[in-house]
Protein backbone atom coordinates (compact mmCIF):
# COMPACT_ATOMS: atom_id res chain seq x y z
CA UNK A 1 0.00 0.00 0.00
CA UNK A 2 1.35 3.41 -0.93
CA UNK A 3 1.98 5.89 1.85
CA UNK A 4 -0.08 8.52 0.05
CA UNK A 5 -2.88 7.92 -2.44
CA UNK A 6 -4.13 10.62 -4.77
CA UNK A 7 -6.54 10.28 -7.68
CA UNK A 8 -4.60 11.39 -10.77
CA UNK A 9 -7.70 12.60 -12.60
CA UNK A 10 -7.77 14.29 -15.01
CA UNK A 11 -10.45 16.54 -13.59
CA UNK A 12 -12.24 19.02 -15.84
CA UNK A 13 -14.66 21.64 -14.47
CA UNK A 14 -16.38 24.78 -15.79
CA UNK A 15 -15.18 28.17 -14.66
CA UNK A 16 -16.73 29.18 -11.36
CA UNK A 17 -17.18 25.63 -10.09
CA UNK A 18 -16.06 24.42 -6.69
CA UNK A 19 -13.22 21.94 -7.00
CA UNK A 20 -12.49 19.23 -4.46
CA UNK A 21 -9.12 17.48 -4.49
CA UNK A 22 -8.38 14.67 -2.09
CA UNK A 23 -5.64 12.44 -0.71
CA UNK A 24 -5.66 9.54 1.68
CA UNK A 25 -2.77 8.21 3.67
CA UNK A 26 -1.92 5.24 5.81
CA UNK A 27 0.87 6.46 8.10
CA UNK A 28 -0.47 7.86 11.35
CA UNK A 29 2.95 9.44 11.99
CA UNK A 30 2.24 12.17 9.42
CA UNK A 31 1.93 15.45 11.22
CA UNK A 32 2.26 18.10 8.53
CA UNK A 33 0.18 18.36 5.39
CA UNK A 34 0.82 20.45 2.31
CA UNK A 35 -0.71 21.19 -1.06
CA UNK A 36 1.40 22.26 -4.01
CA UNK A 37 0.36 23.57 -7.41
CA UNK A 38 2.50 22.76 -10.42
CA UNK A 39 2.09 24.38 -13.81
CA UNK A 40 3.49 22.60 -16.83
CA UNK A 41 7.29 22.69 -16.93
CA UNK A 42 7.53 24.64 -13.69
CA UNK A 43 8.53 23.66 -10.17
CA UNK A 44 5.75 22.98 -7.62
CA UNK A 45 4.55 26.03 -5.69
CA UNK A 46 3.49 25.69 -2.06
CA UNK A 47 -0.19 26.62 -1.75
CA UNK A 48 -1.28 25.52 1.68
CA UNK A 49 0.33 24.15 4.80
CA UNK A 50 -1.57 22.69 7.73
CA UNK A 51 -0.59 20.99 10.93
CA UNK A 52 -3.68 19.93 12.81
CA UNK A 53 -7.04 18.50 11.91
CA UNK A 54 -9.56 21.07 10.78
CA UNK A 55 -9.81 23.70 8.09
CA UNK A 56 -7.43 26.40 6.94
CA UNK A 57 -8.56 29.04 4.50
CA UNK A 58 -6.53 31.30 2.22
CA UNK A 59 -8.52 33.28 -0.29
CA UNK A 60 -10.33 30.89 -2.62
CA UNK A 61 -8.46 27.89 -1.21
CA UNK A 62 -9.44 25.81 1.81
CA UNK A 63 -7.34 22.93 3.11
CA UNK A 64 -9.03 20.36 5.27
CA UNK A 65 -7.36 17.66 7.35
CA UNK A 66 -9.15 14.77 9.03
CA UNK A 67 -6.52 12.80 10.93
CA UNK A 68 -9.02 10.30 12.28
CA UNK A 69 -9.95 9.26 8.73
CA UNK A 70 -6.45 9.87 7.35
CA UNK A 71 -7.92 12.08 4.66
CA UNK A 72 -7.01 15.53 3.42
CA UNK A 73 -8.74 17.80 0.94
CA UNK A 74 -8.17 20.99 -0.95
CA UNK A 75 -11.19 23.01 -2.03
CA UNK A 76 -11.00 25.71 -4.67
CA UNK A 77 -13.95 28.11 -4.81
CA UNK A 78 -14.89 30.11 -7.88
CA UNK A 79 -12.36 28.21 -9.97
CA UNK A 80 -10.58 30.15 -12.69
CA UNK A 81 -8.83 29.02 -15.89
CA UNK A 82 -5.58 30.10 -14.24
CA UNK A 83 -6.15 27.34 -11.67
CA UNK A 84 -5.56 24.76 -14.40
CA UNK A 85 -2.52 22.86 -13.17
CA UNK A 86 -1.47 19.70 -11.39
CA UNK A 87 -2.10 19.68 -7.66
CA UNK A 88 0.15 17.61 -5.41
CA UNK A 89 -0.57 16.69 -1.84
CA UNK A 90 2.38 16.12 0.45
CA UNK A 91 2.80 14.88 3.97
CA UNK A 92 5.62 14.85 6.44
CA UNK A 93 6.51 13.13 9.66
CA UNK A 94 8.83 16.01 10.39
CA UNK A 95 11.77 14.09 8.99
CA UNK A 96 10.44 12.40 5.89
CA UNK A 97 8.28 13.74 3.12
CA UNK A 98 5.85 11.84 0.93
CA UNK A 99 4.08 13.16 -2.14
CA UNK A 100 0.93 12.11 -3.92
CA UNK A 101 1.14 11.49 -7.66
CA UNK A 102 -0.77 14.69 -8.42
CA UNK A 103 -4.24 15.49 -9.81
CA UNK A 104 -4.44 17.24 -13.16
CA UNK A 105 -7.11 19.97 -13.14
CA UNK A 106 -8.48 21.87 -16.13
CA UNK A 107 -10.88 24.78 -15.63
CA UNK A 108 -12.82 25.46 -18.79
CA UNK A 109 -13.74 29.10 -19.52
CA UNK B 1 10.44 34.58 1.58
CA UNK B 2 11.60 31.01 0.93
CA UNK B 3 12.69 31.47 -2.67
CA UNK B 4 14.67 28.77 -4.43
CA UNK B 5 16.39 29.33 -7.75
CA UNK B 6 17.85 26.94 -10.29
CA UNK B 7 20.35 27.54 -13.02
CA UNK B 8 20.23 26.95 -15.89
CA UNK B 9 16.52 26.76 -16.62
CA UNK B 10 17.11 24.85 -19.86
CA UNK B 11 20.21 23.15 -21.17
CA UNK B 12 20.89 21.19 -24.33
CA UNK B 13 24.04 19.11 -24.51
CA UNK B 14 25.67 16.46 -26.63
CA UNK B 15 25.71 12.86 -25.56
CA UNK B 16 28.78 12.07 -23.45
CA UNK B 17 29.21 15.51 -21.94
CA UNK B 18 28.61 16.49 -18.32
CA UNK B 19 26.09 19.07 -17.17
CA UNK B 20 25.98 20.90 -13.83
CA UNK B 21 22.74 22.24 -12.38
CA UNK B 22 22.78 24.67 -9.48
CA UNK B 23 20.13 25.01 -6.79
CA UNK B 24 20.22 28.03 -4.50
CA UNK B 25 18.09 29.09 -1.55
CA UNK B 26 18.04 32.86 -1.98
CA UNK B 27 16.70 34.16 1.31
CA UNK B 28 17.19 31.34 3.77
CA UNK B 29 19.70 28.70 4.74
CA UNK B 30 18.88 25.10 3.98
CA UNK B 31 20.69 22.24 5.64
CA UNK B 32 18.69 19.82 3.50
CA UNK B 33 17.94 19.97 -0.20
CA UNK B 34 16.31 17.38 -2.40
CA UNK B 35 16.76 16.56 -6.08
CA UNK B 36 13.91 15.22 -8.17
CA UNK B 37 13.41 14.32 -11.78
CA UNK B 38 10.11 14.42 -13.57
CA UNK B 39 9.12 12.99 -16.93
CA UNK B 40 6.27 14.58 -18.91
CA UNK B 41 2.90 14.12 -17.24
CA UNK B 42 4.41 12.00 -14.49
CA UNK B 43 4.88 12.63 -10.80
CA UNK B 44 8.02 13.74 -9.03
CA UNK B 45 10.65 11.07 -8.54
CA UNK B 46 13.00 11.65 -5.64
CA UNK B 47 16.59 11.08 -6.70
CA UNK B 48 18.59 12.03 -3.64
CA UNK B 49 18.67 13.93 -0.38
CA UNK B 50 21.49 16.41 -0.03
CA UNK B 51 22.70 17.51 3.39
CA UNK B 52 25.17 20.32 3.81
CA UNK B 53 28.64 19.08 4.60
CA UNK B 54 27.91 15.40 4.12
CA UNK B 55 27.49 12.90 1.33
CA UNK B 56 24.16 12.77 -0.43
CA UNK B 57 21.75 9.91 0.17
CA UNK B 58 20.56 8.39 -3.08
CA UNK B 59 17.27 6.61 -3.69
CA UNK B 60 17.31 3.03 -4.84
CA UNK B 61 18.07 2.75 -8.53
CA UNK B 62 19.76 6.13 -8.84
CA UNK B 63 23.40 5.85 -9.91
CA UNK B 64 25.49 7.94 -7.55
CA UNK B 65 28.44 7.97 -9.94
CA UNK B 66 26.28 9.33 -12.71
CA UNK B 67 24.40 11.93 -10.70
CA UNK B 68 26.97 13.69 -8.54
CA UNK B 69 25.55 15.88 -5.81
CA UNK B 70 27.53 18.43 -3.85
CA UNK B 71 25.99 20.50 -1.04
CA UNK B 72 28.90 22.80 -0.44
CA UNK B 73 27.13 25.50 1.55
CA UNK B 74 23.84 26.20 3.32
CA UNK B 75 22.54 27.98 0.23
CA UNK B 76 23.91 25.94 -2.66
CA UNK B 77 23.57 22.38 -3.88
CA UNK B 78 24.71 21.19 -7.30
CA UNK B 79 23.72 18.19 -9.39
CA UNK B 80 26.15 17.09 -12.08
CA UNK B 81 24.91 14.66 -14.70
CA UNK B 82 28.06 12.94 -15.90
CA UNK B 83 28.44 11.44 -19.36
CA UNK B 84 24.88 12.36 -20.19
CA UNK B 85 22.86 10.23 -22.60
CA UNK B 86 19.52 10.86 -24.30
CA UNK B 87 17.70 8.80 -21.65
CA UNK B 88 18.86 11.35 -19.06
CA UNK B 89 16.74 13.99 -20.79
CA UNK B 90 14.21 15.08 -18.20
CA UNK B 91 13.01 17.90 -15.99
CA UNK B 92 15.18 18.20 -12.86
CA UNK B 93 13.77 20.01 -9.85
CA UNK B 94 15.41 20.80 -6.56
CA UNK B 95 13.80 21.74 -3.29
CA UNK B 96 15.12 23.22 -0.08
CA UNK B 97 13.77 22.64 3.38
CA UNK B 98 12.97 25.68 5.48
CA UNK B 99 11.44 25.98 8.92
CA UNK B 100 7.91 27.32 8.86
CA UNK B 101 5.47 27.61 11.73
CA UNK B 102 7.75 25.58 13.91
CA UNK B 103 8.55 22.85 11.44
CA UNK B 104 10.02 22.28 8.05
CA UNK B 105 8.52 22.19 4.62
CA UNK B 106 9.94 21.98 1.11
CA UNK B 107 10.19 24.93 -1.24
CA UNK B 108 10.85 24.05 -4.86
CA UNK B 109 12.99 25.63 -7.52
CA UNK B 110 11.58 26.38 -10.98
CA UNK B 111 13.21 23.32 -12.51
CA UNK B 112 15.84 22.70 -15.17
CA UNK B 113 14.96 21.10 -18.47
CA UNK B 114 17.81 18.91 -19.73
CA UNK B 115 17.85 17.75 -23.32
CA UNK B 116 20.65 15.40 -24.36
CA UNK B 117 21.13 15.03 -28.09
Burial of residue B28, with CB atoms counted within 10 A of its CB: 0-12 exposed, 13-18 middle, 19 or more buried: middle
- Please report the pLDDT score of residue A94 as a whole number: 74
pLDDT tens by residue, B23-74 = 999 998 888 899 999 998 888 899 999 988 888 999 999 999 999 999 889 9
Determine what percent of chain B is predicted with pLDDT higher than 90.
72
Ranges A43-47, A48-52, B100-104: which has the least confidence: B100-104
Torsion sign over Cα B93, B94, B100, B105: positive
| pLDDT tens per residue, range A9-48 | 899 999 999 999 999 999 998 988 999 999 998 999 999 9
Q: Write out the residues of chain A at the interface with chain B, using a CB-CB cutoff of 8 A.
A: 31-32, 34, 36, 41-46, 49, 51, 88, 90, 92, 94, 97, 99-102, 104
Average model confidence (pLDDT) for chain A?
A: 92
Choose among B34, B106, B111: nearest Cβ to A42: B111
Amino acid sequence: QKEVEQDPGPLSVPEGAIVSLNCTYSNSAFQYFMWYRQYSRKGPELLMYTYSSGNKEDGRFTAQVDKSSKYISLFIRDSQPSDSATYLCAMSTGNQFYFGTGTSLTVIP
Amino acid sequence: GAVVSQHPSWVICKSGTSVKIECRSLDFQATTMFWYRQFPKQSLMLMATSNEGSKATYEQGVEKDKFLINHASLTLSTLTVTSAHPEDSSFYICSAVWGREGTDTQYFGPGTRLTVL
